């Protein structure tokens, strides 16, 4: 399937905001995000059900899917932002109009639980999407300057690729060796794991697999990583990038435990391919935005990641 690049954002464009997973912590965060985008010169359209609630979900499944489908079908909307992550995106996969998304390609931004939608969109349409900051998380206050610059440079500048550099105080760490080129695929570990075996999971063969996680016990991280290993994802991938595994340390220090580094060593130690960790990506304030589906080069020996193409036109 051909890869599709969305048109870049320019001032004056209309941005659509939807809530495909959990609801915002408060309506104030939504209004603050709207002000942020307007101050940057954009117009904003909110999904009709953005303030709906059903338990930990932002409304009924069909309401959330309808909002997402409608934003992609609206020719005036130039980018679609997921309000936040949380839970619920996988419930929408059978309700998404992928043909409409392919016919109306546009920038789609989200993170965490939105991984399910982004990987499914790439599988079904080939559209490059953006795993990055969200309105009710980073853009409802004063965003970290590194996070802000990393994001806007990707979605507004159609020039050919550039280094995907960590901030200077956070060097990449090498686990494997050598270099590779592949399409960047992945996101949240739990969501990648949950997509395996479904028709919405893309092939990771010759891809650069990126993973991050938050708030999971070490034994759960262990289980998910070994599930991916047993499913041959690490064998199939050309290279592997590990972001932050925030809050995934042992909660009960008195019980027998393995550290996260021990688990990662058990999983990736034997891999003879390019693997880098400490990528500034994950549930952290200061982070990169990653273009899911774009071609990148990973050089483990040089501890470098390079975006080989612009993800927008």
| 92-133 confidence digits (pLDDT tens) | 999 999 999 999 999 999 999 999 999 999 999 999 999 999
| 251-274 confidence digits (pLDDT tens) | 777 778 899 999 999 999 877 899
Check residue 194 and give its pLDDT.
98
Cα–Cα distance, 151 to 98 (Å, whole number): 25
Vertex 164: Cα angle to 33 and 203 (nearest 5): 90
Q: Is the pLDDT of residue 208 over 80?
A: yes
Check residue 294 and give its pLDDT.
98
Domain borders along the chain are: 14-143, 173-307
What residues act catalytically?
Answer: 112, 212, 283
- In CATH terms, the superfamily for domain 14-143 is Murein tetrapeptidase LD-carboxypeptidase, N-terminal domain (3.40.50.10740)
Q: Where are the alpha helices (DSSP H) in the chain?
A: 27-39, 61-73, 98-103, 115-125, 145-156, 189-195, 218-230, 233-236, 260-268
Q: Tell me which DSSP letter residue 311 carries.
A: S
| 126-177 confidence digits (pLDDT tens) | 999 999 999 999 999 999 999 999 999 999 998 877 889 999 888 999 988 9
Q: Please determine whether the domains at 14-143 and 173-307 fall in the same fold group of CATH.
A: no
Q: Is the pLDDT of residue 24 over 90?
A: yes
> DSSP letters of 138-173?
TTTS---HHHHHHHHHHHH--SS--B-PPPTTS--E
Check residue 108 and give its pLDDT.
99
Check residue 198 and give its pLDDT.
99
User: In the predicted model, what is the mean pLDDT of the chain?
Assistant: 96
| 44-96 confidence digits (pLDDT tens) | 999 999 999 999 999 999 999 999 999 999 999 999 999 999 999 999 999 99
CATH entry, 173-307, from 3.50.30.60, 3.40.50.300, 3.90.550.10, 3.30.420.40: 3.50.30.60
Check residue 272 and give its pLDDT.
85
């Amino acid at each position: 399937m051909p890869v599709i690049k969305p048109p870049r954002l320019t001032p004056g464009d209309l941005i659509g905001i939807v809530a495909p997973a959990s609801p915002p912590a408060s309506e104030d965060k939504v209004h603050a995000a709207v002000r942020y985008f307007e101050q940057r010169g954009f117009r904003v359209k909110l999904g009709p059900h953005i303030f709906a609630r059903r338990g930990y979900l932002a409304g009924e499944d069909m309401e959330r899917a309808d909002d997402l489908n409608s934003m992609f079908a609206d020719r005036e909307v130039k980018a679609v932002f997921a309000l936040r992550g949380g839970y619920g995106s996988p419930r929408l996969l059978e309700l998404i109009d992928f043909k409409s998304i392919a016919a109306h390609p546009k920038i789609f931004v989200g993170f965490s639980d939105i991984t399910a939608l982004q990987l499914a969109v790439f599988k079904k349409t080939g559209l490059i999407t953006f795993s990055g900051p969200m309105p009710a998380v980073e853009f409802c206050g004063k965003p970290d300057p590194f996070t802000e610059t990393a994001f806007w440079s990707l979605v507004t500048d159609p020039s050919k690729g550039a280094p995907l550099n960590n901030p200077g105080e956070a060097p990449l760490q090498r686990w494997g060796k050598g270099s590779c080129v592949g399409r960047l695929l992945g996101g949240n570990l739990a969501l990648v794991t949950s997509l395996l075996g479904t028709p919405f999971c893309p092939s990771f063969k010759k891809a650069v697999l990126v993973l991050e996680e938050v708030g999971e016990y070490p034994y759960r991280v262990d289980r998910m990583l070994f599930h991916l290993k047993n499913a041959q994802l690490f064998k199939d991938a050309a290279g592997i990038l590990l972001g932050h595994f925030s809050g995934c340390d042992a909660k009960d220090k008195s019980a027998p435990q393995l550290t996260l580094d021990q688990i990662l060593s058990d999983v990736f130690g034997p891999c003879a391919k390019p693997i880098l960790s400490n990528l500034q990506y994950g549930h952290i304030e200061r982070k990169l935005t990653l273009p899911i589906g774009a071609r990148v080069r990973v050089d483990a020996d040089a501890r470098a990641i390079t975006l080989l193409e612009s993800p927008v036109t």
